[in-house]
């Protein structure tokens, strides 16, 4: 028998296929090949449902249900730096309820190149001077601000004045006072404001919250979290206090702070802190390198957190409970988040590793925001969530400067600054 080639197979007749013994395989892809019609799915309410092919004991993913393009909310991405180009814009390919419809950049040629990649029309390209005319663009429902921290206030105010909902990267601002102005402006304009705390939308963290709140492994006693990296010495805006508002604390330490708050649902009542600012390193002329801080919560839980700009990338989170150690390592990365549960099993120590299906974190949070807007409800991470973090960051700096304890008022209830959690779409 002659060898099977792609050319030969494509050119084969039905008889030829039968002769090769491949006719059954070819027909198996067709519904009239003897398979039950139900195996090919049903259609209803604009969605396709397929029957499972695996037994219930195995994971069987569902069909991703995406809105038609015309029904998705349009997002204008403001700022085309590293985060936008490497994470946010690629995330639209996995998004179900949003699409990118406009770009804002100070570099017109750069914007044109990116627009061609994402099918954004030339008429929907703006620079920072023409940004306010976005009010006249019905293609834009949401403005996603991905700019240096000091610019968040201005563009939130301008977006709200243009009648657009606002999604803003974290940290929310460079001061609590500016964060409050952002909250007030969106409220007065009748527009929604969401701070892009991507971790709170991830299934890994929703499971960690469930474990903590249900006391699956007993009561939490201590939270340990660290987030750091070795920044390039290239004059980036993160080393400029006026633009960044601080060093490693508001940039990457914020993840540790926010995680301790949303996992417990509580607000800290006592804060202590220490920072280092090496004088012989030009990266730290204006901002801190290391920050170590502790938070005491009303329940008695302590959180020991740290951040840095001068050591090898390290991102972990661990809950030490009365019956187990439960954590994520890596915890704050864009992918490969892995949960570890260490606990006693009989007379031995068991170690359980859990990993979820890959997903773009920015697609998850953008979709959740779209659903909140459509339902007219507060997003999980509204402006008040970012405002509270800014208040605590200022308290951490105050504690570091004084060397003492800074006390804060407890919250009236759990999750006082958060909206309802979004439904977890499969």
Q: Half-sphere exposure (CA, 13 Å, Cβ side) for 162?
A: 23
Query: pLDDT tens for residues 314-355?
Result: 999 999 999 999 999 999 999 999 999 999 988 888 999 999
pLDDT for res 79: 98
Task: With cut-offs at 50, 70 and 90, classify the pLDDT of residue 17.
Answer: very low
Domain 69-196: CATH superfamily, name plus number: NAD(P)-binding Rossmann-like Domain (3.40.50.720)
- 35 or 289: which leads in pLDDT: 289
Q: Look up tokens 């019609």; give the residue.
A: 37
Among 255, 309, 369, 397, which one carries the catalytic annotation?
255
Nearest in space to 302 (alpha carbons), one of 344, 340, 333, 256 = 256
What top-level class would CATH report for the domain 203-356+382-407? alpha beta
Assess whether pLDDT exceeds 80 at residue 186.
yes
Measured CA to CA in angstroms, residue 68 lies from 73, 96, 181 at distances of: 10, 9, 36
Among 144, 170, 197, 201, which one carries the catalytic annotation?
170
* Tokens of residue 175, six digits: 């001061």
pLDDT for res 31: 52
- Asked if 203 and 283 count as a contact pair (C-beta separation under 8 A), the reply is no
Task: With cut-offs at 50, 70 and 90, classify the pLDDT of residue 39.
Answer: low
Assess whether pLDDT exceeds 80 at residue 32.
no
- 46 or 186: which leads in pLDDT: 186
Query: pLDDT tens for residues 79-115?
Result: 999 999 999 999 999 999 999 999 999 999 999 999 9
- Report, as an integer, the average pLDDT of 368-379: 98
DSSP E strand boundaries for 190-323: 193-195, 220-230, 270-275, 291-296, 302-308, 310-321
Largest CA distance in the chain: 87
- 278 or 54: which leads in pLDDT: 278
Cβ-proximal residues to 173 (8 Å cutoff; 6+ apart), any chain: 149, 152, 153, 179, 182, 245, 386, 390
- 359 or 281: which leads in pLDDT: 281
- Report, as an integer, the average pLDDT of 396-418: 97
Q: What angle do CA 321, 324, 327 make, to 5 degrees?
A: 85
Assess whether pLDDT exceeds 50 at residue 132.
yes
The CA distance from 165 to 369, in Å, is 10
Q: Which helix (H) or strand (E) holds 138?
A: none
Give me the residue spans of the domains in the chain.
69-196, 203-356+382-407
* Tokens of residue 252, six digits: 């990457």
Cβ-proximal residues to 127 (8 Å cutoff; 6+ apart), any chain: 104, 105, 106, 108, 111
Mean pLDDT computed over every residue of the chain: 90
pLDDT for res 357: 84
% pLDDT > 70, the chain: 85
| Catalytic-residue membership of 170 | yes
Pairing of β 220-230 and β 302-308? parallel
Assess whether pLDDT exceeds 80 at residue 176.
yes
pLDDT for res 55: 63
pLDDT for res 173: 98
pLDDT for res 54: 64
């Amino acid at each position: 028998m002659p060898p099977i080639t792609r050319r030969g197979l494509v050119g084969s007749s039905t008889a030829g296929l039968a002769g090769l013994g491949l006719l059954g395989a070819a027909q198996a892809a067709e519904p009239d090949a003897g398979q039950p019609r139900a195996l090919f799915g049903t259609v209803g309410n604009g969605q396709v449902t397929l029957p499972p092919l695996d037994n219930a004991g195995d994971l069987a993913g569902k069909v991703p249900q995406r809105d038609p393009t015309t029904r998705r909310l349009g997002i204008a991405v403001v700022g085309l730096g590293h985060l936008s180009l490497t994470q946010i814009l690629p995330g639209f390919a996995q998004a179900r309820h949003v699409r990118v419809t406009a770009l804002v950049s100070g570099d017109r040629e750069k914007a044109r190149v990116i627009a061609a990649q994402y099918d954004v029309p030339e008429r929907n390209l703006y620079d920072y001077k023409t940004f306010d005319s976005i009010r006249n663009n019905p293609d834009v429902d949401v403005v996603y601000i991905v700019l240096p921290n000091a610019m968040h206030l201005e563009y939130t105010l301008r977006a709200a004045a243009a009648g657009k909902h606002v999604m803003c990267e974290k940290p929310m601002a460079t001061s609590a006072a500016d964060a409050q102005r952002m909250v007030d402006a969106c409220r007065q304009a009748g527009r929604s404001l969401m701070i892009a705390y991507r971790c709170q939308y991830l299934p890994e963290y929703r499971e960690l919250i469930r474990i903590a709140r249900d006391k699956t492994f007993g009561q939490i006693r201590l939270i340990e979290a660290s987030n750091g990296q070795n920044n390039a010495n290239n004059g980036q805006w993160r080393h400029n206090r006026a633009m960044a508002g601080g060093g490693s604390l508001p940039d990457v330490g914020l993840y540790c702070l926010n995680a301790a708050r949303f996992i417990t649902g509580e607000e800290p009542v006592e804060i202590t802190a220490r920072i280092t600012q090496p004088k012989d390193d030009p990266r730290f002329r204006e901002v801190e390198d290391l920050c170590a801080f502790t938070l005491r919560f009303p329940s008695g839980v302590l959180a020991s957190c740290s951040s840095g700009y001068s050591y090898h990338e390290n991102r972990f989170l661990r809950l030490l409970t009365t019956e187990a150690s439960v954590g994520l390592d890596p915890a704050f990365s864009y992918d490969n988040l892995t949960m570890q549960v260490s606990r006693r099993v009989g007379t031995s120590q068991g170690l359980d590793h859990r990993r979820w299906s890959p997903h773009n974190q920015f697609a998850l949070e953008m979709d959740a925001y779209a659903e909140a807007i459509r339902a007219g409800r507060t997003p999980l991470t509204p402006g008040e969530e970012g405002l509270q973090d800014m208040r605590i960051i200022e308290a951490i700096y105050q504690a570091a400067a004084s060397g003492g304890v800074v006390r804060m008022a407890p919250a009236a209830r759990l999750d006082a600054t958060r909206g309802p959690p979004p439904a977890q779409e499969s």
